[in-house]
């Protein structure tokens, strides 16, 4: 049985670098340290654009979380996004190795997943996750865990998420330069799904949309597993710059106006658009006017939200998922707090909508309760699940990192558990 373990998640966003440290036991994930949102540097739309600046921001974030947790972080699950993220569904088949009981072993499962990875990707691409969706044993479909079952032929349907090898190497390099090993890179959308989605939503069919500052990470679940992922290079920063153009204001002021407008709407929840008739006081900012009709501000915000959800709707159609996601859309990420977002998603996607915030952890939860923490908390929950399934992965106890020297076979199983 695994004992208590320190697991760290680092969410490398375009707006903030969030490090979260948790103490993980058999039945609990307790947050013991957070960095808060250290402003991101050197990262644009998920990609590293300036290594030195990115290293500096990551280092600040890690140090702050270390101080709060009172531990030294030596390894972490690190999020990755960017429009280079792509996915495909792949099939693997193997003969079950003959043994006395003719039972399917973990090694057979590892081999069939390895077989599903035999896809031709250009050398510029690297696999991030191989997620088994469904196993088939001698033509019997719908098996989630075939270990211990009898059979001679084992098949698997997997969802493979892959990314640009260069982008992956650069993120890893930045984290390594701070003296921290990368346990695994975790696609932001997948990470957030661990913190935000319920099992029922995943089973019924749902779309998770994590809208950050520079990107919108999308992941669709069907029958309990991911079926499609895509990252759009668009997010909350564009909403802010729309306001800046519309109001002829500075970006910093537009960001403040957006946050205040959204936070006020949150306080008078349930009547998000009710006070649109009232003017919004902007006298504290350096603008040509002192008051602006709220309806005008809402119009600017909703134009960009509409664009985001139209693009998401297009992706749903392209993936052939129209009418297959009855649990609707769950929106998370910092921009999920933008005023009017639920209405816009409902109108443009014609699905039920909810805002998702991180769940499933205890401890310092006040620090990570906002939707901007979903990916960081999710990275920890992803790591916890791998750790608890200790039969597949073992951790180096001294350094808290996954042993790289695992048998080649089990090394391939790094993303077996989603």
x/- letters, 64..103, toward ligand ATP (CB under 6 A): -----------------x----------------------
Please report the sign of the dihedral spanned by the C-alpha atoms of residue 47, residue 321, residue 385, residue 364. positive
Question: For Mg ion, which is the closer residue by CB, 136 or 168?
Answer: 168
Binding residue (CB under 6 A) for ligand ATP from 9, 33, 42, 46: 46
Decide if residue 338 touches ligand ATP (CB under 6 A).
Answer: yes
| Binding residues for Mg ion restricted to 18-47, rule: CB under 5 A | none
116-130: b (≥16 Cβ within 10 Å) or e: beeeeeeeebebbbb
Q: Choose among ligand ATP, Mg ion, none what residue 235 binds, the Cβ cut-off being 5 to 8 Å by kind.
A: ligand ATP
Decide if residue 376 touches Mg ion (CB under 5 A).
Answer: no
Q: Choose among Mg ion, ligand ATP, none what residue 214 binds, the Cβ cut-off being 5 to 8 Å by kind.
A: ligand ATP
Binding residue (CB under 6 A) for ligand ATP from 334, 356, 358, 418: 334
- Within a 13 Å sphere around the CA of 104, how many CA atoms are in the beta-carbon half? 26
Binding residue (CB under 5 A) for Mg ion from 9, 13, 82, 132: 13
**Cα separation values, 130 from 110, 121, 125, 280, Å:** 11, 14, 14, 49
Q: Closest separation between CB of residue 368 and Mg ion, Å? A: 13
Binding residue (CB under 6 A) for ligand ATP from 22, 335, 368, 377: 335
DSSP H helices in 228-373:
236-247, 251-267, 294-318, 341-349
Other residues' Cβ atoms within 10 Å of the Cβ of residue 161: 25
Binding residue (CB under 6 A) for ligand ATP from 92, 151, 212, 226: 212
x/- letters, 196..225, toward Mg ion (CB under 5 A): ----------------x-------------
**By CB under 5 A, which span of 9-17, 102-110, 223-231, 271-279 interacts with Mg ion?**
9-17
| Residue from 57, 54, 127, 137 nearest 88 by CA | 127
Contact 319, 248 (CB under 8 A): no
Q: Choose among ligand ATP, Mg ion, none what residue 99 binds, the Cβ cut-off being 5 to 8 Å by kind.
A: none
Decide if residue 196 touches ligand ATP (CB under 6 A).
Answer: no
- Supply the angle between the helices 294-318 and 236-247 in degrees, to the nearest 10: 140
- Within a 13 Å sphere around the CA of 105, how many CA atoms are in the beta-carbon half? 13
Neighbouring residues of 84: CB distance < 8 A, sequence distance ≥ 6: 46, 47, 163, 164, 167, 231
Decide if residue 358 touches ligand ATP (CB under 6 A).
Answer: no
Q: Choose among ligand ATP, Mg ion, none what residue 384 binds, the Cβ cut-off being 5 to 8 Å by kind.
A: none
Q: Closest separation between CB of residue 235 and ligand ATP, Å? A: 4
Neighbouring residues of 147: CB distance < 8 A, sequence distance ≥ 6: 103, 104, 105, 106, 109
How far apart are alpha carbons 155 and 115 in whole angstroms? 9
Question: For ligand ATP, which is the closer residue by CB, 304 or 388?
Answer: 304
Question: For ligand ATP, which is the closer residue by CB, 280 or 387?
Answer: 280
Contact 136, 155 (CB under 8 A): yes
Decide if residue 418 touches ligand ATP (CB under 6 A).
Answer: no
Binding site for ligand ATP (CB under 6 A): 13-16, 40, 46, 81, 188, 212-215, 235-237, 240, 255, 258-259, 262-263, 333-335, 337-338, 372
* Binding site residues, Mg ion, CB under 5 A: 13, 212
């Amino acid at each position: 049985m695994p004992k208590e373990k320190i697991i760290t998640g680092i969410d490398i966003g375009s707006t903030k670098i969030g490090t979260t440290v948790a103490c993980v036991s058999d039945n609990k994930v307790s947050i013991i340290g957070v960095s808060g949102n250290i402003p991101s540097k050197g990262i644009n739309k998920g990609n590293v654009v300036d290594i030195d600046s990115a290293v500096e921001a990551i280092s600040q974030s890690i140090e702050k979380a270390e101080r709060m947790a009172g531990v030294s972080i030596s390894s972490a699950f690190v999020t990755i996004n960017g429009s280079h993220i792509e996915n495909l569904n792949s099939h693997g088949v193997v003969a079950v190795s003959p043994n006395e009981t003719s039972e399917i072993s973990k090694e057979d499962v590892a081999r069939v997943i390895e077989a599903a990875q035999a896809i031709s990707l250009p050398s510029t691409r690297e696999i991030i996750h191989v997620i088994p969706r469904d196993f088939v044993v001698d033509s019997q479909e719908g098996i989630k865990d075939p270990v211990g079952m009898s059979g001679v032929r084992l098949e698997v349907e997997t969802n493979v998420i892959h990314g640009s090898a260069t982008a992956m190497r650069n993120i890893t390099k930045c984290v390594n330069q701070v003296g921290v090993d990368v346990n695994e890179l975790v696609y932001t959308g997948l990470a957030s799904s661990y913190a935000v989605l319920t099992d029922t939503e995943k089973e019924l069919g749902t779309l998770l949309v994590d809208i950050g500052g520079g990107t919108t990470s999308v992941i669709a679940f069907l029958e309990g597993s991911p079926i499609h992922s895509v990252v759009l290079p668009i997010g909350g920063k564009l909403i802010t710059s729309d306001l800046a153009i519309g109001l002829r204001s500075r970006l910093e002021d537009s960001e403040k106006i957006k946050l205040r407008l959204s936070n006020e709407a949150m306080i008078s929840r349930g009547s998000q658009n009710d006070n649109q008739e009232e003017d919004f006081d902007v006298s504290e900012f350096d603008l040509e006017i002192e008051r602006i009709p709220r309806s005008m501000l809402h119009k600017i915000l909703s134009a960009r939200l509409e664009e985001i959800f139209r693009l998401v709707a297009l992706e749903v159609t392209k993936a052939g998922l129209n009418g297959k996601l009855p649990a609707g859309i769950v929106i998370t990420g910092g921009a999920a707090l933008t005023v009017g977002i639920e209405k816009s998603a409902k109108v443009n996607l014609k699905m039920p909508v909810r805002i998702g915030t991180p769940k499933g952890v205890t401890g310092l939860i006040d620090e990570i309760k906002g939707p901007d923490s979903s990916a960081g908390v999710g990275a920890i929950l992803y790591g916890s699940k791998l750790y608890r399934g200790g039969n597949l992965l073992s951790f180096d106890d001294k350094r808290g990192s996954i042993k790289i020297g695992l048998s080649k076979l089990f090394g391939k199983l790094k993303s077996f558990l989603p």
